[in-house]
Amino acid sequence: MPSTHTSLHYHFTFSTKERRALIVRAWRDRLHAYVAGIVRALGGVPEAVGGTADHIHILASLKASDSVVDVMRKIKASSSGWVHRTIGAPLFAWQDGYGAFTAGQSEIERLRNYIHGQEEHHRCRSFEEEYLDLLRQCGVEFDERFLW
């Protein structure tokens, strides 16, 4: 085959440090737009960005040459710097880890709706419950003692 074709969609999620409710509704949409801009600047396609006061979800298509760890490092560093400079929240920080899950083309619309519906979704469930379910659904082995 003389050319390469990829369809690489990732669902990323991570919380604020210690899952503190630091992402204020007044600037949350601006943060999500900024994160989408980071994904675009890296050559990816932001399919959806959403979240609540203590975490964020990103659905993005990335290039085959992108490293998940590098993309996450750049998104987290750049967005926390933006919050410090633009919003003036010097105590804002992301947790060290993250969840990264692959998604097939048939899952994109469902994930997009799920990410855009985070406010409603989290009226009944915490981020911790949501994250544990994600890990289980994706078959990721974990030791709950080391999650939080």
Q: Looking at residue 27, which CATH number applies to its domain?
A: 3.30.70.1290
**Containing H/E element for 118?**
helix 118-121
Domain annotation covers residue 29 = yes
What separation, in Å, do the N-terminal and C-terminal C-alpha atoms of the chain show? 45
∠ CA 52-56-59, nearest 5°, is 130
Domain annotation covers residue 43 = yes
The pLDDT assigned to 1 comes to 65
Are 74 and 139 in contact by the 8 Å Cβ rule? The answer is: no
Are 77 and 49 in contact by the 8 Å Cβ rule? The answer is: no
| pLDDT score of 36 more than 80 | yes
For 140, the domain range is 9-146
Collapse the DSSP code of 89 into the 3-class scheme (helix H, G, I; strand E, B; otherwise coil) and give the result. coil
Predicted structure pTM score: 0.91
Are 45 and 39 in contact by the 8 Å Cβ rule? The answer is: yes
What are the tens digits of pLDDT across the range 101-135? 999 999 999 999 999 998 887 888 888 888 988 89
Instruction: Read off the pLDDT of each residue in 7-15 and give the average, rounded to a whole number.
Output: 96
Domain annotation covers residue 3 = no
Domain annotation covers residue 134 = yes
Provide the domain count of the chain. 1
Taking the CA of residue 84 as centre, how many other CA atoms within 13 Å lie in the half-sphere pointing to its CB?
11
Domain annotation covers residue 2 = no
Where is average pLDDT lowest: 41-45, 104-108, 137-141? 137-141
